């Protein structure tokens, strides 16, 4: 049992049959065809040699098949992680140097080690701190950045930079060097690929193909673009006219590489590796969960961390760079009828064959075509509607999204995502530091108590019932003191204050001090302090302090009981005294029942 | 009105009379006598020349009298802030140099500017992020550090260091240089002062003094120790035998000094200045509020920031160093019968006279006596019981206290307090990321719903009512999905899930996504999702999204209404349909009344 938890392959491998094999094999062929151009393109984006993209798809996909829990996830280089790799490694070495490739290996190893550690320590919940708006904003901004960074390949000029301003400045400075033939190739490839996304499938349907075949046929668009532009470069010797091509690519299986563990390099890459790990994990797990939900399969987040960690380790030892589960390829995999992770193994075989035999064919492939593939792919990630959604829903979420987008675009990916997380946390702390509080009264004819400002309710002049709509902890402990003072000041003939605690999920030591101070101050003013609807966990906590001994009033199971008792102390004496006895204990239902009876009595 | 808000002096100054004058004058005399040794001692602690301690008590006390809101607070050098000053300035220059004094002036100016800015921007609530356990731990650890740092003066050796280990190592290395006479003087002064704290007052009472006079007499203990040891040094020429003395102190009013604003210095001091400002503010305001509460006076935290900011600015321009409101001197001030901040002005006059005429008398004052004064004063700050209190009350608070104490002692004051705040926040985030959830049922005979595990309650087999005990936001959004799945899996014949939201104080965009996912998944499984007891602010938020349109179930004002409707859909049809109509609106009490009636009906 526990072995198959860490090796999900033991689980599905045991029940593998011919049906699964057929589904997996078909899916593998389609995904392999799709992955060849994608792998080359994302290698370009990451600043790596083209073969690294293929290598990064082979070992990782195999290792994920052993350790991963998703049936459909296809692991390999993806756009956002490749962009982050370029940003991180670009700070250490120049793209195209041996140092750059070595640093990328180390980055993959470091990221793999972090993912494995998080998985083994079962810390997958940490990824939750990347809120939905921060991820959405980050991916949108990354898409824009990636598209901008690829413009140089379309224009055929040298340009660099890791922020939008840097890229724009650099493009502007080299604008006089535009290669017109490259631009023509790149622009037409982009236009073609853009059309393919919407127009090829209906065309294939009209040509008589079935819906599934048309769907799959449409995915071959990038291959068509690659074949056509490669042939054009070869036939018209466009390389001599300045069109940048992929060039010599070694014909080989993935090499065995050993990532450097120089302390200086590890120190420089630690933060980027952590961010890449978390972003990669969040992206991958949301794809995996979306696809698993459709077939009612289960994804184990902690095991996913182990699967992705193993995949990145694999990339580090076979000449790759950081990888994660990709959205588009996984969807293709799923649509093609994948049954088990064995499809990944078959894809790996397909890519290994491609690495051995197809690489000479891409010698004349223009980089502009790869750039076009990337641009069309990432523009589908750009979705600025998150800004309007967040604005409508809450200013706090809007703040997090806009900080993330702006900083990602103009200060870099690492700062962008970090600032997004920090903003989310700060905004949350700020909000909880000034909690909502409502004076409540009884909704007529019920035992239910609501805000006097929103509902038509009954109140008693000498009782102030205040509902505290937040856990009480250090950022808001003193605020409660101030607010209670303000509310109490409006009621001169006050004898009793009831703090209604259904929304107080925690009371920490700072808040306990505040409650003690409130109790003392009210006592000095001749006012009793009661609590109602205190939850079990909070009650357990309060019992460990002296507060309950010093409390001038009582603890009521429900606000209704509190109101009955304070409205008519004589009639409700029984529940009141048992209320005192039960202070700090889980109240028995008996006293309440008598409380309920007295309500129906006089 | 608004002018007197920023200048509280306009308020109390207008009503100043002879009674107030008497109270203030008496208090001023007593506080002046107490402040002379204290000021000298804290200057020594801060690494400043002795006269700086007196200067730092004059202008600041005057400025606080104009801007501050506390009647009793006495502002000047205090132990913890002096220690932090020594740690911050010690990184920049050697104690005893002109650069050291200049950096201390800049530190005071920077801290003053920050306090003023926080006050004008009304950001006083930021101080709440220093939780009670962090402050208690920090002050305790600082007390230990301060006492350790003063041992060298008692032993008459050279030693240095800003952490306990550094100090211990340095003391150990110089242990062979102990000056026996200094040790004898220092140890007897310490023993005498320690005895004074408990033993002098009863002695004075037995000698026939009234309780108040005995109290005040006991405060003169430090002056006695100073006079006695100074005379001893002078009479026996102990300076020649190696006893370190205060030496030449200029006879002068506070000089006009202009703090340097070199960008490099400001950069180096920015973080320490912020920490000193916040620690100083928190220490000061808790003293001010404690004393104000006894006389039912009000302290305005934002105006206090302005008062302390002005005081520190005053220190920066008159040869001082960072100051704040001190505990012991404020209590003496209060006990001596202070009426208004005018007492501060009188104290300032007393100290100015001391600076002009008394300084020659302290030439032979041994530093060991000042160290003894400090040690006895700070050991009263050391209160390790916060560790056991926190341990009993909550592990989270214990984590924050112990991190603060350990890091303050062994890594320095700045790291200590910062780590304490960060730990408090991280622990809070961790806790809220795994919220408590309770399956609830109806407490028999009431309309009240509680945890099935803690109370004797009634439930229905086809309904799962789950109370979520936390605001739903990004760190726990996914956790809710997982938990709900686990709870629902135990109930095969489930038709309805009610999420009871009385404790949900916020729903952010990430949580909204999760709620939408839950709604969809339950719908696919043929289960309806309802919400109950959704609070006004949360309801307002949900109405701005499409969630309410897609929700398969209903929104009930109370869990009771939900139960009635789901138990007996026929009988409760009226409230149910009105429940649908009221989706997203503040429900009118009418529909509920009929709901309540139907409960008492069949």
**Does any CB of chain A come closer than 8 Å to the CB of residue B543?**
no
**Does any CB of chain A come closer than 8 Å to the CB of residue B525?**
no
Above 60 in pLDDT, residue A575?
no
Residues in chain B with CB shorter than 8 Å from the CB of A592 are 443, 445-446, 448
Specify whether the backbone of B584 is left (phi greater than 0), alpha (psi in -120 to 50) or beta: left
pLDDT attached to residue A569: 56
Its domain, for residue B74, covers 48-401
Crossing angle (nearest 10°) for helices A132-155 and A263-294: 110
Q: Do B596 and A436 touch (CB under 8 A)?
A: no
CATH number assigned to the domain comprising residue B444: 3.30.750.24
pLDDT attached to residue A212: 74
CB A403 within 8 Å of CB A386:
no
Same domain (yes/no): B360, B316: yes
pLDDT attached to residue B296: 66
- The whole-angstrom separation of Cα A208 and Cα A452 is 68
Same domain (yes/no): B477, B592: yes
Distances (CA, A) of B302 to A530, B9, B59: 31, 16, 21
Q: Is the dihedral of CA A385, A386, A391, A392 positive or negative?
A: positive
Same domain (yes/no): A478, A501: yes
Name every residue whose Cβ is closer than 8 Å to that of residue A361 and which is 6 or more positions away in sequence.
A230
pLDDT attached to residue B568: 66
Q: Do B541 and A393 touch (CB under 8 A)?
A: yes
- A192-229 pLDDT, tens digit per residue, is 988 888 788 888 888 888 877 787 777 778 888 889 99
Collapsed DSSP state (helix, strand, coil) of residue B255 = coil
For chain A, the 3-state helix, strand and coil shares in percent, each to the nearest 5, are 65, 5, 25
Collapsed DSSP state (helix, strand, coil) of residue B441 = strand
Transcribe A221-260 into DSSP letters: HHHHHHHHHHHHHHHHTGGGGT--B-------SPPP----
Give the residue from B455, B451, B453, B558 showing the smallest Cα distance to A590.
B455
B201 vs B64, more confident: B64
Q: Do B393 and A541 touch (CB under 8 A)?
A: yes
Above 80 in pLDDT, residue B5?
no
- Give the total number of structural domains in chain B: 2
CB-nearest partner of B394 from A132, A436, A508: A508
Token pair, residue B599, equals 């409960």
Q: Which of A431, A500, A509, A557 would you mutate first to test chain B, the one with the most B CBs within 10 A? A: A509
Same domain (yes/no): A30, A96: yes
**Does any CB of chain A come closer than 8 Å to the CB of residue B505?**
yes
**What is the mean pLDDT of the segment spanning A339-353?**
90
**Does any CB of chain A come closer than 8 Å to the CB of residue B128?**
yes
- The whole-angstrom separation of Cα B472 and Cα A42 is 37
- The whole-angstrom separation of Cα B496 and Cα B526 is 9
**Residue A475 domain-assigned (yes or no):** yes
Give the end of a domain, one of B351, B385, B401: B401
Above 50 in pLDDT, residue B586?
no
0.85 surpassed by complex ipTM: no
Centre a 10 Å sphere on the Cβ of residue A520 and count the other Cβ atoms it contains. Answer: 14
**Residue A387 domain-assigned (yes or no):** no
Above 70 in pLDDT, residue B418?
yes
Above 70 in pLDDT, residue B463?
yes
Specify whether the backbone of B551 is left (phi greater than 0), alpha (psi in -120 to 50) or beta: beta
Centre a 10 Å sphere on the Cβ of residue B9 and count the other Cβ atoms it contains. Answer: 17
- The whole-angstrom separation of Cα B476 and Cα B503 is 14
pLDDT attached to residue B315: 96
Same domain (yes/no): A167, A233: yes
Q: Which of A128, A398, A427 would you mutate first to test chain B, the one with the most B CBs within 10 A? A: A128
A598 vs A36, more confident: A36
Above 90 in pLDDT, residue B113?
yes
Transcribe A516-573 into DSSP letters: HHHHHHHHHTT-EEEEES--HHHHHHHHTSSHHHH-SS-EESSHHHHHHHHH-TTTTH
Name every residue whose Cβ is closer than 8 Å to that of residue A365 and which is 6 or more positions away in sequence.
A40, A226, A229, A230, A233, A245, A246
- The whole-angstrom separation of Cα B525 and Cα B380 is 65
Transcribe A444-488 into DSSP letters: TTSS-EEETTTS-EE--TTEEEEEE-S-B-HHHHHHHHHHHHHHH
Same domain (yes/no): B201, B307: yes
Same domain (yes/no): A420, A442: no
- A149-192 pLDDT, tens digit per residue, is 899 999 999 888 889 999 999 999 998 989 999 999 999 999 99
Transcribe B70-121 into DSSP letters: -SS-EEE--HHHHHHHHHHHHTTS-TTSHHHHHHHHHHHHHHHHHHHHHHHT
Give the residue from A183, A144, A136 showing the smallest Cα distance to A167.
A144
pLDDT attached to residue A591: 34
**Predicted TM-score (pTM) of this structure:** 0.80
CB A370 within 8 Å of CB A47:
no
Above 90 in pLDDT, residue A494?
no
Same domain (yes/no): A420, A443: no
Q: Which of B127, B129, B130, B132 would you mutate first to test chain A, the one with the most A CBs within 10 A? A: B132
**Residue B42 domain-assigned (yes or no):** no
- B175-191 pLDDT, tens digit per residue, is 888 999 999 999 999 99
**Residue A137 domain-assigned (yes or no):** yes
Distances (CA, A) of A483 to A436, A466, A478: 10, 10, 9
Q: What percent of chain A has pLDDT over 70?
A: 94
- The whole-angstrom separation of Cα B503 and Cα A504 is 7
- The whole-angstrom separation of Cα A141 and Cα A132 is 14
Q: To the nearest whole angstrom, how far is the Cα of A69 from the nearest Cα of chain B?
A: 16
Collapsed DSSP state (helix, strand, coil) of residue A16 = coil
**Residue A302 domain-assigned (yes or no):** yes
Above 70 in pLDDT, residue A63?
yes
pLDDT attached to residue A568: 67
**Residue B12 domain-assigned (yes or no):** no
Token pair, residue B242, equals 């190696």
Q: To the nearest whole angstrom, how far is the Cα of B304 from the nearest Cα of chain A?
A: 15
**Does any CB of chain A come closer than 8 Å to the CB of residue B121?**
no
Give the end of a domain, one of B354, B381, B401: B401
**Residue B260 domain-assigned (yes or no):** yes
Distances (CA, A) of B174 to A414, B155, B245, B313: 49, 10, 19, 39
CB A386 within 8 Å of CB A136:
yes
CB B155 within 8 Å of CB A501:
no
CB A156 within 8 Å of CB A244:
yes
Token pair, residue A519, equals 């109790």
CB A560 within 8 Å of CB A519:
no
Same domain (yes/no): B468, B338: no
CB A137 within 8 Å of CB A401:
yes
Q: Do A455 and B589 touch (CB under 8 A)?
A: yes
Q: To the nearest whole angstrom, how far is the Cα of A400 from the nearest Cα of chain B?
A: 11
Q: Do B392 and A545 touch (CB under 8 A)?
A: yes
Same domain (yes/no): B218, B319: yes
Collapsed DSSP state (helix, strand, coil) of residue B335 = helix
- Lowest average pLDDT, out of A38-47, A443-452, B324-333, B565-574, goes to B565-574
CB-nearest partner of B503 from A457, A503, A544: A503
- B498-548 pLDDT, tens digit per residue, is 999 988 988 999 899 889 988 988 888 888 999 999 988 899 889 988 899
For β-strands B449-451 and B437-443, DSSP reports them as antiparallel
Same domain (yes/no): A55, A97: yes
CB B284 within 8 Å of CB B127:
no
- The whole-angstrom separation of Cα B487 and Cα A263 is 47
**Does any CB of chain B come closer than 8 Å to the CB of residue A428?**
yes
**Residue A397 domain-assigned (yes or no):** no
Same domain (yes/no): B248, B386: yes
Q: Which of B421, B538, B589 would you mutate first to test chain A, the one with the most A CBs within 10 A? A: B589
pLDDT confidence band for A64 (50 / 70 / 90)? very high
End-to-end, the C-alpha distance of chain B in Å comes to 63
Containing B531, the helix (H) or strand (E) segment is strand B528-532
- The whole-angstrom separation of Cα B231 and Cα B241 is 15
CB B74 within 8 Å of CB B386:
no
């Amino acid at each position: 049992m526990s072995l198959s938890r860490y090796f999900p392959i033991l689980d599905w491998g045991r029940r593998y049959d011919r049906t699964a094999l057929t589904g997996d094999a078909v899916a593998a062929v389609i995904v392999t065809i799709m992955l060849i151009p994608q792998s080359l393109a994302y290698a370009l984006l990451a600043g790596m040699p083209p073969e690294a993209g293929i290598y990064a798809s082979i070992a990782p996909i195999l290792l994920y098949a052993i350790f991963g829990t998703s049936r459909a996830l296809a692991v390999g280089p993806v756009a956002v992680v490749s962009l982050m790799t370029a940003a991180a490694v670009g700070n250490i070495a120049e793209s195209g140097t041996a140092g750059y490739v070595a640093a990328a290996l180390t980055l993959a190893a470091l990221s793999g080690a972090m993912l494995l550690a998080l998985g083994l320590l079962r810390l997958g919940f940490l990824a939750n701190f990347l809120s939905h708006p921060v991820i959405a904003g980050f991916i949108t901004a990354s898409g824009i950045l990636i598209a901008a960074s690829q413009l140089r390949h379309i224009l055929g000029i040298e340009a660099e930079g890791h922020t939008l301003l840097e890229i724009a400045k650099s493009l502007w400075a080299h604008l006089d060097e535009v290669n017109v033939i490259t631009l023509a190739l790149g622009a037409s490839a982009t236009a073609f690929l853009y059309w393919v996304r919407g127009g090829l499938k209906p065309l294939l349907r009209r040509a008589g193909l079935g819906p599934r075949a048309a769907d799959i046929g449409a995915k071959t668009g990038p291959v068509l673009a690659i074949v056509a532009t490669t042939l054009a470069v070869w036939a018209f010797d466009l390389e001599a006219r300045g069109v940048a091509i992929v060039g010599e690519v070694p014909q080989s299986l993935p090499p065995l590489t050993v990532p450097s563990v120089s302390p200086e390099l590890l120190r420089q890459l630690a933060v980027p590796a952590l961010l890449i790990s978390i972003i990669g994990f969040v992206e991958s797990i949301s794809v995996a969960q979306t696809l698993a939900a459709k077939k009612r399969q289960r994804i184990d987040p902690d095991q996913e961390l182990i699967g992705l960690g193993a995949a990145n380790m694999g990339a580090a030892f076979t000449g790759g760079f950081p990888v994660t589960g990709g959205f588009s390829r996984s969807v293709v995999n799923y649509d093609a009828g994948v049954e088990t992770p064995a499809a990944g193994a078959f894809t790996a075989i397909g890519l290994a064959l491609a690495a051995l035999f197809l690489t000479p064919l891409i010698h004349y492939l223009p980089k502009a075509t790869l750039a076009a593939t990337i641009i069309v792919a990432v523009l589908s990630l750009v979705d600025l509607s998150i800004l309007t959604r967040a604005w409508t829903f809450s200013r706090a979420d809007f703040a997090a999204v806009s900080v993330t987008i702006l900083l990602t675009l103009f200060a870099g990916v690492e700062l962008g995502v970090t600032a997004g997380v920090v903003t989310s946390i700060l905004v949350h702390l700020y909000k909880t530091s000034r909690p909502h509080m409502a004076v409540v009264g009884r909704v007529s004819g019920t035992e239910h108590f609501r805000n006097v400002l929103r509902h038509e309710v009954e109140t008693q002049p000498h009782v102030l019932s205040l509902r505290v709509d937040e856990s009480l902890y250090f950022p808001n402990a003193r605020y409660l003191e101030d607010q209670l003072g303000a509310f109490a000041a409006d009621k001169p003939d006050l004898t009793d204050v009831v703090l209604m605690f259904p929304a107080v999920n925690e009371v920490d030591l700072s808040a306990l001090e505040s409650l003690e101070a409130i109790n003392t101050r009210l006592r000095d003013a001749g006012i009793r302090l009661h609590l109602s609807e205190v939850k079990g966990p909070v009650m357990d906590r309060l019992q460990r302090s002296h507060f309950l001994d010093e409390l001038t009033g009582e603890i009521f199971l429900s606000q209704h009981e509190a109101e009955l008792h304070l409205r008519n102390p004589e009639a409700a004496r029984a529940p009141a005294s048992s209320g005192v006895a039960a202070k700090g204990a889980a109240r028995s239902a008996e006293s309440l029942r008598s409380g309920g009876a007295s309500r129906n009595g006089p």
